[in-house]
Amino acid sequence: MSTESPPGLERARQRAGIDAEAWAELRAAALRVLEGNRQQGISEWKTERYPEGVPYNFVCPANLSYPFQWFWDSCFHAIVLSHLAPTLAEEELRTLVRAAQPDGFIPHIVFWRRDPERMRHHTIHLRHPYFTSTIQPPVLAAAIERVYRATGNPDFLRETLPPAAAFFRWLGQARDPDGDHLIAIIQPDESGVDASPKYDALMQLDALNNRALVASINRLYDRYEREGLRGDDHRLIAADLFVVEDVLVNAIYADGLERMATLLRELERVGMAALMVGGQEVSCEREAHRCETEAQAVTDALLATCYDADTGLFYDLQTRDERPARINTISSLFPLILRTLPHAVADRMVREHLLNREEYWLPYPVPSVARSEPKFDPDDPHGFIWRGPTWINANWFLAAALRRTGWTEPADHIVRQSVALVRGAGFRECYNPLTGAGQQARDFGWSTLVVDMILGE
Ligand code: GLC
């Protein structure tokens, strides 16, 4: 890999502001966290393919608070492992896609080893004893791409890409019943930015704390259950109890579709001409073309319906009436990751918002909510997360987007400050953007993404 060659690595280190010794320490510490959080064994969950129980080998986000397999966390772990232990990076994603269902669905959390006591700590809705009924942002295409780039192993691609393609197809079919190309989420945790203030009004919180949010999610689940909606996404969306066309989710969806197109063509090149998606056999080229077209359609829809020309920001659309949620959170910046976003739109977002000291350009950027928002809270009081703290996975997306679009200095600054966060406070779940203090879980898996940020995509 070119970034690992000594001259490339030295340049990367200089950009990130760390010397050889600090880099070696950081790399070793990241590996320790990922190894320390490893969960491995044979599940009691038996499937047709694995009648003796499904084998699993993955990294959980944090041993104490998050001991199960979370969808987007695993994708981030695989990306870091692609540098540190490529075979384990493959295992991480192989394990994840073993939970893929015949209809294409891949769950948000998989409980390879059920632990009812610890499962109770999470607001979950099960579709099956071993997995939830919800999803998370589809970072899977980016993760497969990075792992394949590291290993070049066609068997890995043959194993993981068909379920990924089926999942992307499922997202469009199950979650876009109005056909506007934007997929909907049906519960706040599905976006990965669970307690973001952008959902407060829709969740009808009676107090601004995590307890109120959990109660509200449970009320939502009770209604899904009582009204017999579980398992039927179109009816769930029609019921309109929580329907959000979320900008962050759709930006990751569009980015994923574009990567899928490239990967599907690669799959054809390594000898697999067709695959099963949505119960039908399609050629790789045809599915690649569909993904490519859909990626652009999602981008166009974000621009046409979520972009607000007055503020230069993107807003989620809430309820089936698609009411914009006008609050300035990190989601509003996520379209920066889209390759075909018009330059003028991207430049304005960077200049007026991301680099604005009243909003996102805080001592340790990028906060999850703009400082100018009345609900900005730099701390994470009792798990009421994503309301201000800085998260390394968001920085990973944004730094790469800035670098790709030529904003090299801001990209380097985000990388340097992310490195400063983990060196100062350890691999924590999130950080105070004003002081750099670590918050929530310790030895948190995806904060090791700094390793990938240093090396650059
Ligand atoms: C929190 C985060 C979510 C993450 C999960 C496991 O719920 O909000 O994005 O996937 O923890 O780390």
Ligand 1 centroid–CA 203 distance in Å is 18
Instruction: Return the residue whose CA atom lies nearest to atom 2 of ligand 1.
Output: 192
What is residue 3's predicted lDDT score, i.e. its pLDDT? 46
Ligand 1 centroid–CA 207 distance in Å is 22
Ligand 1 atom having least distance to the Cα of 429: 12
Ligand 1 centroid–CA 264 distance in Å is 29
Query: What average pLDDT does range 437-454 have in this prediction?
Result: 98
Query: What average pLDDT does range 328-347 have in this prediction?
Result: 98
* For the chain, percent of residues with pLDDT exceeding 90: 94
What is residue 383's predicted lDDT score, i.e. its pLDDT? 84
What is residue 84's predicted lDDT score, i.e. its pLDDT? 97
Residue 385 beta carbon below 6 angstroms from any ligand 1 atom: yes
| pLDDT tens readout for residues 146-155 | 999 999 999 9
Asked if 384 contacts 210 with a C-beta cutoff of 8 angstroms, the reply is: yes
Query: What average pLDDT does range 366-392 have in this prediction?
Result: 94
Residue 194 beta carbon below 6 angstroms from any ligand 1 atom: yes
When mean pLDDT is compared across 21-30, 179-188, 269-278, 306-315, the lowest value belongs to 269-278
What is residue 318's predicted lDDT score, i.e. its pLDDT? 98
Residue 389 beta carbon below 6 angstroms from any ligand 1 atom: no
Tell me if residue 102 falls in helix, strand or coil.
Answer: coil
The one-letter amino acid code at 105 reads F
Ligand 1 centroid–CA 368 distance in Å is 14
Q: Could you tell me the pLDDT band of residue 421, with boundaries at 50, 70 and 90?
A: very high
Ligand 1 centroid–CA 244 distance in Å is 18
Phi, psi of 308, deg, nearest 5 = -110, 110
What is residue 457's predicted lDDT score, i.e. its pLDDT? 65
Ligand 1 atom having least distance to the Cα of 194: 8
Residue 66 beta carbon below 6 angstroms from any ligand 1 atom: yes
Instruction: Return the residue whose CA atom lies nearest to atom 9 of ligand 1.
Output: 192
Residue 80 beta carbon below 6 angstroms from any ligand 1 atom: no
Ligand 1 atom having least distance to the Cα of 73: 10
Ligand 1 atom having least distance to the Cα of 192: 9
| pLDDT tens readout for residues 53-101 | 999 999 999 999 999 999 999 999 999 999 999 999 999 999 999 999 9
Query: What average pLDDT does range 187-207 have in this prediction?
Result: 96
Q: Which residue has the higher pLDDT, 154 or 229?
A: 154
User: At a CB cut-off of 8 Å and minimum separation 6, what does 33 contact?
Assistant: 427, 443, 444, 445, 447, 448
Which residue reads 């918002």 in tokens?
A: 353
Q: Is the pLDDT reported for residue 5 higher than 80?
A: no
Q: What is the mean pLDDT of the chain?
A: 96
Give the Cα separation of 362 and 366 in Å (integer): 7
Q: Could you tell me the pLDDT band of residue 1, with boundaries at 50, 70 and 90?
A: very low
Ligand 1 centroid–CA 192 distance in Å is 6
**34, 139, 140, 189: residue to mutate for ligand 1 pocket, most atoms within 8 A of CB:** 189
Ligand 1 atom having least distance to the Cα of 195: 8
> Please, what is the Cα angle at 320 between 101 and 301, to 5 degrees?
80
**DSSP structure class, residue 180:** S
Instruction: Return the residue whose CA atom lies nearest to atom 12 of ligand 1.
Output: 61
| pLDDT tens readout for residues 32-46 | 999 999 999 999 999
Ligand 1 atom having least distance to the Cα of 393: 9
Ligand 1 atom having least distance to the Cα of 445: 12
Tell me if residue 137 falls in helix, strand or coil.
Answer: coil
Q: Is the pLDDT reported for residue 347 higher than 70?
A: yes
Asked if 82 contacts 457 with a C-beta cutoff of 8 angstroms, the reply is: no
Highest mean pLDDT among 228-232, 378-382, 432-436: 432-436
Largest Cα–Cα separation, the chain: 61
6-16 and 20-36 helices cross at what angle (nearest 10)? 90
Q: Which run of H or of E encompasses 176?
A: none
DSSP for 24-85, please give it: HHHHHHHHHHHHHTEEEEE-S---SS-TT--EEEEE-SBTTTB-SEEHHHHHHHHHHHHHH-
